Amino acid sequence: MCIRDSYRALIPDVVPEEQYSIANSYISLAIGLGSVVAAGTAPFLKWAFGYQMSIPAQFIMAALAFTLGMIWTCITIKEAQQKREVEEMTETNVVEEKSFLQSLKEFFALSPEISKICTMQFFTWIGTMCMMIFFTQYAVHTIYFVPDLTTASEVAKEAYASATLAGTNFSSICFAIFNLICFVVAIPIGFLSAKYTNKKVHIISIITMILAYLGMFIVREPKAVAALMGLAGIGWASICALPFAMLSQFIKKGTEGSVMGIFNIFIAGPQVFVCTLVAWIISKCSFTMGAEHINYHWEYAFVIGAICLAVAAVIASMIKEKKA
Residue 84 maps to a domain: no
Total domains in the fold of the chain: 1
Q: Distance between CA atoms of 218 and 303, rounded to whole angstroms?
A: 10
Q: Are 141 and 298 in contact (CB under 8 A)?
A: yes
Q: Is residue 41 part of a domain?
A: yes
Residue 254 DSSP one-character state: T
On whether residue 273 sits in a domain, the answer given is yes
At 135 the pLDDT is 95
CA dihedral 145, 150, 151, 155 (to 10 degrees): 60
| Residue 212 φ/ψ, nearest 5 degrees | -65, -45
The reply to whether 172 falls in a domain is yes
The per-residue DSSP string of 141-161 comes to IIIS-PPP-TT--HHHHHHTH
The phi and psi torsions of 281 (rounded to 5 degrees) equal -60, -45
The reply to whether 274 falls in a domain is yes
Asked if 181 and 234 touch (Cβ cutoff 8 Å), the reply is yes
Helix residue ranges, H only, 50-111: 55-76, 100-109
Q: How far is the C-alpha of 185 from the C-alpha of 193, rounded, in Å?
A: 12
DSSP 35: H
Residue-number span of the structural domain to which 265 is assigned: 2-79+101-317
Per residue in 249-300, pLDDT tens? 887 766 666 777 788 888 888 989 999 999 999 999 988 877 678 889 999 9
- Count of residues in the chain: 324
322: in domain = no
Q: Is residue 324 part of a domain?
A: no
Look at the pTM and tell me if it is higher than 0.75.
yes
CA distance linking residue 147 with residue 149, whole number of Å: 6
Does a structural domain hold residue 92?
A: no
Average predicted confidence (pLDDT) for the chain: 81
pLDDT tens per residue, range 134-181: 999 999 999 998 888 877 778 878 888 888 888 988 998 899 899 889
Q: Is the pLDDT at 112 greater than 60, yes or no?
A: yes
CATH of the domain at 266: 1.20.1250.20
Q: How far is CA 215 from the centre of its chain?
A: 20
| Secondary structure class of 12 (helix, strand, coil) | helix
